[in-house]
Amino acid sequence: MNRNVLPLRQAFLCLSLIILCASSLEAQSNKLRIPADWEPHDALWIGFRTMLVLDQFDPVTLEVIRQVQDHTPIKLMVESSLFFTEGRQYLADNGIKLDRTEVIYQSPAEFWLRDPGPIFAKNEKEELVTLDFLYSGRQDLQLKQIQSNVIQKGTIDKTLGGMVTPKSKKINIVMEGGAIHTNGSGTFLLVEAVTLKRNPGLSKEDIEKRLSNAVQVHDIIWLKQGLAEDPMRRTKIVDEYYGSATGGHVDEFVRFVNDSTILLSWIPEKDTSLHPIYAMNYQRLNDAYQRLKQARTINGKPYTITRIPHPDLFYEEIELGPEHFSNNSDSFPGTKLGDTIKYVAAASYMNYLITNDLIILPKYWMPGLSQEQQKKDEQVYNIFHFYFPNHKIVRINPLQLNFRGGGIHCIYQEQPAVSPVHPVGVFSR
């Protein structure tokens, strides 16, 4: 036997593996990268006036804009001038700098812009590309069962993204912006109770393949459930407690703060006896914690997981009247006219805003509330100050949004920077 045959075969195998690995790396590098939310932004897209909300959220939205405007230019989405008859002077009268705020009239529109709004990625040339996901209006239905007006909202991402870049990438997954989160290095957080239900007929493997065919994916960490206070629309949580939100969005309970550190909402086990919702959240968050502990960074190391306090339970008592039973979508399961329910707010510290060198953090304590809640506010502030020492941290009470099933993070989408961040006073239309 020729002595050179085996070495030649080994050399050929090694060369083949090198070519295969190089091809794989090249294919991955040519895919799109979704930046992390702490990376620089050129603008924030913020939902404002729509037919469904009119001006009811103006107080909190205007406060968000006032805080953001010196840090990031704003693109304010309004469904129609019919719902904004006051015009730009109204913004100026409320302390908004008009040279930092662009009003865009767009129909269809959505106040909770995080979900149908444009998710931007970057290609190998650092150019922006709009990711065109499917949208079901936060419903666990086949797309053919979705109302036509909701399907139309699925065009918002590509329409708004098209105002920024002509490049887009279709991804055949139903995905809301609040249901996906990344560290910018290819690791994603998804929730089974949301993503699998929004995509009936697709398995985890199907979803992972479709996502990884479009963007750079190192790992997808699947978490089982979101917070108990974040149920699907008008759902009984436990006993007389009801809520109406998304079914468990990831941005309500867990976020990356750098590529190797995760913040997770937390309920101490000792508090589970205080309320059945606390007990439900402890089980869910502990399951998430165990899964996150098993995950590894792109360098093969465990993530640093910092558990932060979860706010107290906020609810309001509502006596159900005829308006709650006007059609099937309005009714609360198992209730009748005249019943009193406890309607729970989707309160969370994790639903915060971050843009450039600014963080807008929820703060819940008000006079009359417990010292424990005040203590939680301060603990959370200190944790964020530790991880973001160079950021300005502003705190806003988001309960007005929470009682409608959302939060501060739900009303905007970030536009990653492709140029130096705009200095004050150079953005206007």
Place of tokens 């963007």: 215
Q: Measure the CA–CA gap between 234 and 332, rounded to whole angstroms.
A: 6
Q: What single letter denotes the amino acid at residue 426? A: V
Q: Which of 35-44, 317-326, 394-403 has the lowest mean pLDDT?
A: 317-326
Alpha-carbon Rg for the chain in angstroms: 23
Average pLDDT across the chain, whole number = 91
pLDDT greater than 80 at residue 273: yes
The number of angstroms, rounded, from the C-alpha of 325 to the middle of its chain's C-alpha atoms is 31
Q: What's the pLDDT score for residue 140?
A: 77
62 in Cβ contact with 394 (< 8 Å): no
**Banded pLDDT at 330 (limits 50, 70, 90):** low
Q: List strands edge to edge, sheet with 235-238.
A: 235-238, 241-243, 340-344, 315-319
Burial (Cβ within 10 Å: 0-12, 13-18, ≥19) of residue 326: exposed
Q: Which residue type does 385 have?
A: H
The closest alpha carbon to 88, from 108, 107, 102, belongs to 102
Say what the pLDDT of residue 109 is.
Answer: 94
Pairing label, strands 340-344, 353-355: unpaired
Spatial separation of the C-alpha atoms in residues 129 and 122, rounded to whole Å:
6
Q: What is the pLDDT of residue 429?
A: 30
**What's the token pair of residue 204?**
């985890």
Q: Categorize the per-residue pLDDT at 124 as very low, low, confident or very high, splitting at 50, 70 and 90.
A: very high
Q: What does the chain come to in residues?
A: 429
pLDDT band, residue 145 (cuts 50/70/90) = confident
Contacts of 45 (CB under 8 A, 6+ apart): 75, 77, 113, 117, 118, 160, 412, 413, 414, 415
pLDDT in tens, 215-270: 999 999 999 999 999 999 889 999 999 999 999 999 999 999 999 999 999 999 99
Answer with the residue of higher pLDDT: 233 or 182: 182
133-142 tens-digit pLDDT: 999 988 877 7
Kindly report, residue by residue over 274-285, the tens digit of the pLDDT.
Answer: 999 999 999 999
- Residue 18 pLDDT level (bands cut at 50, 70, 90): very low
- Looking at residues 199-224, what average pLDDT do you find? 97
Cα separation, 322 vs 341, in Å, equals 14
Q: How far apart are CA 429 and CA 427, in angstroms?
A: 7
- What SS3 string covers 324-356? HHCCHHHCCCCCCCCCEEEEECCCCCCCCEEEC
Q: Is the overall model pTM greater than 0.95, yes or no?
A: no
Check whether 147 has a pLDDT greater than 50: yes
Nearest Cα residue to 135 out of 109, 159, 111, 115: 115
pLDDT of 329 above 70: no
Asked whether the predicted pLDDT for residue 144 surpasses 90, the reply is no
Residue 190 identity: L
- In this prediction, residue 1 has a pLDDT band, given cuts at 50, 70 and 90, of very low
DSSP 8-state code for residue 142: -
Cα–Cα distance for residue pair 72/253, rounded to 1 Å? 25
Q: How far apart are the first and last CA of the chain?
A: 79
What is the band of 150 on the pLDDT scale with cuts at 50, 70, 90? confident
Q: Where are the domains of the chain?
A: 225-351+398-405
3-state secondary structure of 41: strand
Mean pLDDT over 9-14 rounds to 54
Q: Which pLDDT value is given to residue 352?
A: 98
